[in-house]
Chains A and B, each alone.
Chain A
Amino acid sequence: MSDTNENESQIILPDDEKLMLSVSPHISTCETTRRIMCKVLLALFPAVFASVLLFGMRAFWVILFTTVCCVGAEALWCFFAKKPVLNTIGDCSAVVTGVLLAMNLSAEIPYYICLIGAFLAIWLAKQVFGGLGHNPFNPALVARVGLLIAFPAAMTTWGPVTGFSVDGPVKGQCVVQGVMYDTPPAALTAPDAVSCATPLGIVKTTPKILGQGFEAEGNFAAIDDQGKYWDFFLGKKSGCLGETSVLALLIGGLMLIGFKLINWRVPVCYIGTVAIITGAVNYFHPGVTPTPLFHILTGGLMIGAIFMATDMVTSPITNSGCVIFAIGCGVVASVIRIWGNYPEGVSFSIIFMNALVPLIDRLCSQRPFGYVAKRG
């Protein structure tokens, strides 16, 4: 095949030596793991922004420090495990874990707890299982629960919503010994002296403090006040950095759905289940638990349902699996919130359901093309 032609000199032909061999398909989407993680970060931005707005610069430093610790922990593990360091941290999954973990901490958290949390998340919850994609549980939630057990006091001490101000607390709802203050009493304005309970924490302790028993109608009058719902929605309530502003979380959730990164069934079924269960209990026994809207607007339900339960790695693959998973999360979270010892059950519910994901995946395995339904 070496016939030469006069005109051939102008025609450039491919050089066989430089041809690449590969298995089909020869084209591929531009989407990569790193791009997915960056999109998740983008969706987290409204919540991050809101937390800084609500809790001040300290929130920003907590988020930054926790994230840096997570990336550092990942790099350190890769160094010890002789894995490619840049490749592993290059997928940006540790950054997402770091931000998510920080969103689960309070603005008052000591930095050493952030550091421990980062190692719990990256080492214990992720890398020991084989790294990204192999972890059965959401790393940020494992770290949160681990910290909750190890540092119960620090993890449940929340500062007031101060607003973005360096002058100390300006506005916040604060409960001191069961008494609700819209603005912290003057004697308590020194930041260190102020410790605020979350609305859910108040719900958990109020009946005991009031000593009226669980059947009393007015148990939650101080906190479950419809006039406060709007504040709850915007984020003017105590809590972890990321769980306060429902508005910011909803914007992030819509972004995730818009980016096609999460299955909308998970947040919808999760929140729906909590609403139905708490609604039913509240309807028959208003003294046992506040209204469903209160449950939706407070605590970690929003961030859990939108950012945690939807984690691709630790949630089911099929649509039907996602529905079962989300309903399970909703049931567990409601049960803990209503009857459990802890005020909040979202993290436990998600970790509990994470453990069931392989079973759910098996249960919901789809029928391949061309098979008929099995009988019997």
Chain B
Amino acid sequence: MTFKGGIHPAGDGKALSEKSPIQTAPLFDKYQVIVGQNVGKPPKVLVKVGDEVKKNQLIAEADGFVSANLHAPTSGKVSAIAEVPGPMGAAVMAIEITADKLDQAVEPMTALDWQNSDPAALKARVAEAGIVGMGGAAFPSAVKLSPPPEKKIDTLVINAAECEPYLTADHRLMVEEPEKVVIGTAILGKILNVKEMWIGVEVNKPDAIAALEKYAGAYGVKIASLKVQYPQGSEKQLILAITKRVVPAGGLPMDAGCVVQNVGSAYAVTDAVVNGLPLVERVTSITGEVVKNPGNWRLRIGTPVIKAIELAGGVTRQPGKLILGGPMMGFAQRTSLVPVCKNTSGILLLPPELSVEYTSGSCIRCGRCVQGCPMNLVPCLLGCAIESEKFDLAKENHVMDCLECGSCAYVCPAKRPLVQHMRRAKAEIRRKK
């Protein structure tokens, strides 16, 4: 099962951490929970400096439809509500909690018997727990579970492709907690009342597929073995690979009758519904060639990245880049003081030899980017058009459909900054609107 286009990055770096079991991080002194870490409107802060909070306590409340609740990762005192370096580069508002190391939690929410619950109650619970897309997008999950009535949803796809090189957090989660992943899938399926529930996994994770298969049948969930091909985990490509349906241009998965949720989010749904726990921790890969002990850790949201790197034994030498997320679509950081967010799937430290500054050459029209584009665009021509600031031409040639997956830039022998060009054109076109 696969899609047309895409690339096969050489040396995917997964071997560094794929065999390393999930470890639970110890308590740290301070946590900085970024307020606006979901797509949409940042939630409204409910605490003020000096307040005592307990673990799992609601500290910021969803403000509007596309927003997500935030909960305290541990018990302690709110020591600051101030700007911290954010994962996207700009400074962002965060609630700093100084831990009292007691880690006292508030009473969990009532556990729901999901098989006999009202779908609306289950959906409310997903919203209450502050669950967002944990693969990177951080889109509030409950919103995706509320399609407009005219959109008929018959298929749920759980995105467990983990096609980004290096990252293994989802892989380990499926190997170690397959039942909770499958139950989460079934709960989401029940909320949406779908006919088919799929978990799409790339075949380079045979142990994860085998683990999921053990439970999948009992809950009516099907496992799709996907070809190893980047970006297999991109929504549109995933839907095409599994259901053979094409999401129309500019459309959303629901336009093809599908809802896609991340596997980490499905796991969090189980915790929220069955155990009454909000989303305050996630599994993150701390990896890269320069990390001393690469592995997968269960980190609380708000953990400073520098502490996480310390957990992995630090580095063996100075890294060239620190990336939150994977190497294809992750964000390079200028400081290790950024905190872990709900969508931090990986903390990747690339060695200096992989962090080279390229001089971009002329396009030689080799066409590799055209072969690699999963959206069937012609990145080389788009790149040239944008370079000469012909944004209208770029728009005519569908630059707005670009996923920014980076396949074109990866394969470009002239090392042209194609993704940068696409982003620029998209920004310019949006500005003109």
Residues of A with Cβ closer than 8 Å to B?
Answer: 1, 3, 8, 11-16, 18-33, 35-36, 87, 91, 93, 130-134, 261, 263, 312-313, 315, 317-318, 361, 365-372
List residues 316-357 of chain B with CB under 8 A from any CB of chain A.
316-323, 327-337, 348-350, 354-355, 357
- Chain B residues whose CB sits within 8 angstroms of the CB of A19 once the complex forms: 319-322, 332-336
Per the bound structure, the CA–CA distance linking A244 and B150 in Å amounts to: 69
B240's nearest neighbour on chain A, judged by CB, is A369
- Chain B residues whose CB sits within 8 angstroms of the CB of A27 once the complex forms: 9, 165, 327-328, 350, 354, 410
Most buried by B among A25, A33, A372: A25
Per the bound structure, the CA–CA distance linking A36 and B249 in Å amounts to: 35
CB proximity of B74 to chain A, nearest CB, Å: 15
List residues 397-427 of chain B with CB under 8 A from any CB of chain A.
397-398, 401, 404, 406, 409-415, 417, 419-420, 423
Q: Tell whether, in the assembled complex, residue A370 and residue B251 are in contact, meaning their CB atoms are under 8 Å apart.
A: yes
Q: Tell whether, in the assembled complex, residue A26 and residue B246 are in contact, meaning their CB atoms are under 8 Å apart.
A: no
Partner of A13 from B249, B315, B361, B409 at Cβ < 8 Å: B315
Q: Does B314 contact A (CB under 8 A)?
A: yes
Q: Tell whether, in the assembled complex, residue A317 and residue B310 are in contact, meaning their CB atoms are under 8 Å apart.
A: no
Q: Tell whether, in the assembled complex, residue A133 and residue B365 are in contact, meaning their CB atoms are under 8 Å apart.
A: yes
Q: Tell whether, in the assembled complex, residue A13 and residue B306 are in contact, meaning their CB atoms are under 8 Å apart.
A: yes
- Chain A residues whose CB sits within 8 angstroms of the CB of B349 once the complex forms: 14
Q: Tell whether, in the assembled complex, residue A23 and residue B420 are in contact, meaning their CB atoms are under 8 Å apart.
A: yes
CB proximity of B350 to chain A, nearest CB, Å: 6
Contact with A along B229-256 (1 / 0, CB 8 A): 0000000100000000011111100000
- Chain B residues whose CB sits within 8 angstroms of the CB of A21 once the complex forms: 89, 321, 332-334
Per the bound structure, the CA–CA distance linking A33 and B250 in Å amounts to: 34
Q: Tell whether, in the assembled complex, residue A317 and residue B365 are in contact, meaning their CB atoms are under 8 Å apart.
A: yes
Q: Tell whether, in the assembled complex, residue A18 and residue B306 are in contact, meaning their CB atoms are under 8 Å apart.
A: no
> Shortest 8 CB-CB distances between A and B: which pairs?
A25-B406, A133-B362, A370-B249, A11-B314, A369-B375, A26-B327, A27-B327, A25-B328
Q: Does B30 contact A (CB under 8 A)?
A: yes
Q: Does B108 contact A (CB under 8 A)?
A: no
Q: Tell whether, in the assembled complex, residue B415 and residue A14 are in contact, meaning their CB atoms are under 8 Å apart.
A: no
CB proximity of B119 to chain A, nearest CB, Å: 30
Q: Tell whether, in the assembled complex, residue A11 and residue B362 are in contact, meaning their CB atoms are under 8 Å apart.
A: no
- Chain B residues whose CB sits within 8 angstroms of the CB of A33 once the complex forms: 361, 364, 413-414
Q: Tell whether, in the assembled complex, residue B376 and residue A25 are in contact, meaning their CB atoms are under 8 Å apart.
A: no
A369's nearest neighbour on chain B, judged by CB, is B375
Q: Does B81 contact A (CB under 8 A)?
A: no
Q: Tell whether, in the assembled complex, residue A23 and residue B417 are in contact, meaning their CB atoms are under 8 Å apart.
A: yes
Per the bound structure, the CA–CA distance linking A131 and B328 in Å amounts to: 31
- Chain A residues whose CB sits within 8 angstroms of the CB of B417 once the complex forms: 23
Per the bound structure, the CA–CA distance linking A33 and B366 in Å amounts to: 9
- Chain A residues whose CB sits within 8 angstroms of the CB of B327 once the complex forms: 24-27
- Chain B residues whose CB sits within 8 angstroms of the CB of A1 once the complex forms: 30, 304, 306, 337
Per the bound structure, the CA–CA distance linking A23 and B359 in Å amounts to: 14
CB proximity of A22 to chain B, nearest CB, Å: 5
Q: Tell whether, in the assembled complex, residue A25 and residue B30 are in contact, meaning their CB atoms are under 8 Å apart.
A: no
Contact with A along B44-56 (1 / 0, CB 8 A): 0000000000000
Q: Tell whether, in the assembled complex, residue B411 and residue A29 are in contact, meaning their CB atoms are under 8 Å apart.
A: yes
- Chain A residues whose CB sits within 8 angstroms of the CB of B420 once the complex forms: 23
Q: Tell whether, in the assembled complex, residue B248 and residue A370 are in contact, meaning their CB atoms are under 8 Å apart.
A: yes
- Given contacts A29-B411, A33-B364, A318-B370, whether A20 and B378 have CB atoms under 8 Å apart is no
Q: Does B377 contact A (CB under 8 A)?
A: yes
CB proximity of A78 to chain B, nearest CB, Å: 13
Per the bound structure, the CA–CA distance linking A366 and B404 in Å amounts to: 19
Partner of A28 from B236, B309, B362, B410 at Cβ < 8 Å: B410
Per the bound structure, the CA–CA distance linking A317 and B398 in Å amounts to: 17
Q: Tell whether, in the assembled complex, residue A12 and residue B315 are in contact, meaning their CB atoms are under 8 Å apart.
A: yes
B290's nearest neighbour on chain A, judged by CB, is A14
Q: Tell whether, in the assembled complex, residue B315 and residue A14 are in contact, meaning their CB atoms are under 8 Å apart.
A: yes
- Given contacts A3-B30, A26-B321, A35-B413, whether A370 and B401 have CB atoms under 8 Å apart is yes
